[in-house]
Amino acid sequence: MSEGLSALEVGQEAHRHNEQAEANNATPDHPQGGSDAGGPHEPRHRLIHAAEATLLAVVTLVAAWSGYAAAKWNTDSRLLLAEASTLRAQASRENLTAMELRNFDSSTFQAWFSAYVQHNPEAEAIAVRRFRPEFKTAFDAWRATDPETNPNAPPGPTYMPQYAEPDLAQANELDHRADTTFTDGERAGATADEYVRITVILAAVLFLVGIGSTFRVVEVRYALVSVGIVLLVFASVLILQQPRPPG
């Protein structure tokens, strides 16, 4: 992912631009680097040089900010996606624990039910002692519904509202957090991509400023600077529409 334009690249571009500008202003009577005072086109040359230098400086700063923002959002995206993966793994572990406990409750209830059908109170008591406290609460509530004679009674203790599965509830909560975090990570990645696109637009402005010094016709250079200013304004508007980099 692009990290913006480095200071070294910008410095090299500015140096090359200045050397080319001096070469364009050199004449047989005024060697390179000499004064062109008194020439009819000197004010126009000075103006275009100032415009190009100013545009180059502003674009450099904006491009650096855009590259910084892209890097920050890209890092934030990676961290959020990693966190979502961790939460998903934790939810899976909690869900497995909940399934194991439910299977244990089913096996102890089946032992009690077999003893109940065989009219073996001692075996029933042994099975009840094996109940988990949470399951015992639901079992007592289920027995209170008189399931032997009440056709509307729930099929078993696990169907009672008193039957609590804290591990399953924790797994569902972790799954929800994982979904939310993953969505945030995708959004952060999309924002980083937008800042990269903006940086590319700003790089195009630097390209226009760089090639402008190769033209001797001042009007062409003014046209390139004008296009560069339009692109700079467009990129600035896009930056204002994006969220600020995370702290």
Residue 7's pLDDT band, with cuts at 50, 70 and 90, is very low
Both tokens of 35, joined, read 């004064």
- Three-state DSSP state, 92: helix
- Which residues are within 8 A (CB) of 125 and not within 5 positions of it... i.e. 6 or more apart? none
pTM: 0.67
- Condensed to tens digits (0 to 9), the pLDDT of residues 102-155 reads 999 999 999 999 999 999 999 999 999 999 988 999 999 999 999 988 889 898
pLDDT at 94: 93
Locate tokens 């304004």: which residue? Answer: 233
Residue 11 to residue 15: CA distance in whole angstroms: 6
Place of tokens 């008591």: 125
Contact 143, 160 (CB under 8 A): no
What is the per-residue pLDDT across 31-87, written as a single tens digit (0 to 9) for each? 444 444 444 556 667 888 888 889 999 999 999 999 999 999 999 999 999 999 999
Handedness of CA 213, 218, 219, 223 (dihedral sign): positive
Q: Let me know: does 221 contact 52? Beta carbons within 8 Å.
A: yes
Q: Residue 20: pLDDT band by 50, 70, 90 thresholds? A: low
- First-last CA distance in the chain: 20
Question: For the segment 155-197, what is each residue's pLDDT rounded down to a tens digit?
Answer: 899 999 999 888 888 999 999 999 999 999 999 999 999 999 9
pLDDT at 209 (0 to 100): 86
